[in-house]
Amino acid sequence: MIQISTPTICKPAVILPKYSVTQKEIIEFIKVNFSDTEELPKAIEMISNNQVLKRHFIRPLEEIIFDCGLEKRNSLYIKYARQLAKEAALQAIKNSGLALSEINMVIATSCTGISMPSLTTMLINDLELSATTRQLPISQLGCSAGTAAVNLAVDYCNAHPGNNVLIVNVELCSLLFHPEDTLLSSLISASLFGDAATASVVRGEGGKGFAITATHSFLLSNSEDYIYYKIKDAGFYFRLNKKVMSSIKLVIPEINDFLKKTTQKEPNEMDFYVFHTGGKRILDELVKGLFLQEEDILNSRNSLSENGNLSSAAVFDVLNRLFENEPPLPGQKGLMVAFGPGFSTEISTGFWV
């Protein structure tokens, strides 16, 4: 029997910065500014085939190309992260049908800058939430943090029946661009990630959306070098090991086992899917490994194409598309998955209400 009190992810808010750049513009930019790079032809070929057509940034491209150092980068991060987080949070709370006074916990995910006090503190002050609001800032789970936040929010709601959790995700990936970084993997990453803020409320009771009944975390052993930051005087340098491309097949058995234990279903027997937009190859591997149809991941493909990889914010952009395009029927079962540094996998399953 379906429990009314099942913690439920309500309709997300998705806030995109005003500066939009097409992939064609990025390719021309790389041709002009990285003409002496040995692997330029290979980079152009790979970028042209990564399925990203457009992304949004907090600054125009002509400003992004100048290296401004860690201090300037982080001051920009705090300025824009705070603005976008507040806007996303207000819309998400409105979507949930709750009042500000009914938020009991704030989780904020962001890996593209540093702030102390944390973004959760800023949100509590800016939204004038209760001084007793619980806080959980998450900064080092990368792309998997969005689903990790859902799982932790569900745990909190189950432990505190009737409570509600605001999740806010802010990723300003353009602040990680370094013009002197000409590694092939760096050029590929620079063509993949976009800026955005998303937010959603997990209601302990009475929500409409994706009700979560089971969660799971999995860390692939000895994979710390798959995704990481190299920190230099100029800021964070994103590093992506090509081993990531073959890592999905290693975690597929974990997804299969989790679903069998919690739903008695195979992955391809679920009714809807919310997958992190890790990139074309990642989505290809999920379709192949889970025996899915292309239409099953259309929302993830479209999110990647229109906004790029939004890191921890990505799963909420995908979930929002599910709400807006063709919401599942009540009772239909779904699967949410995201991957991140570690190499870590965060999984949620449940049903639509």
What is the crossing angle of helices 314-325 and 145-159, to 10°? Answer: 80
Helix (H) or strand (E) holding 290: helix 280-290
Cβ neighbours, 10 Å, residue 245? 16
Structure tokens at 349: 């399953």
Q: Distance of alpha carbon 269 from its chain centroid, rounded?
A: 25
Which among 49, 2, 59 has a CA at the least distance from the CA of 23? Answer: 49
Say whether 157 is catalytic: no
Q: CA Rg, the chain, in Å?
A: 19
Residue in this structure with the two tokens 């003409």, named with its chain if needed: 35
Q: How far apart are CA 228 and CA 172, in angstroms?
A: 16
Kindly name the residue from 111, 143, 157, 173 that is annotated as catalytic: 143
H-assigned helices in 52-131: 61-64, 69-96, 119-127
Structure tokens at 159: 């432990």
Q: How far apart are CA 190 and CA 177, in angstroms?
A: 6
Q: Where are the beta strands (DSSP E) in 194-297?
A: 195-203, 210-223, 227-232, 235-240, 272-275
Q: How far apart are CA 262 and CA 147, in angstroms?
A: 17
Contact 55, 195 (CB under 8 A): yes
Q: Distance of alpha carbon 16 from its chain centroid, rounded?
A: 13
Contact 311, 59 (CB under 8 A): no
Contact 273, 334 (CB under 8 A): yes
Q: Looking at the annotation, which residues are catalytic?
A: 143
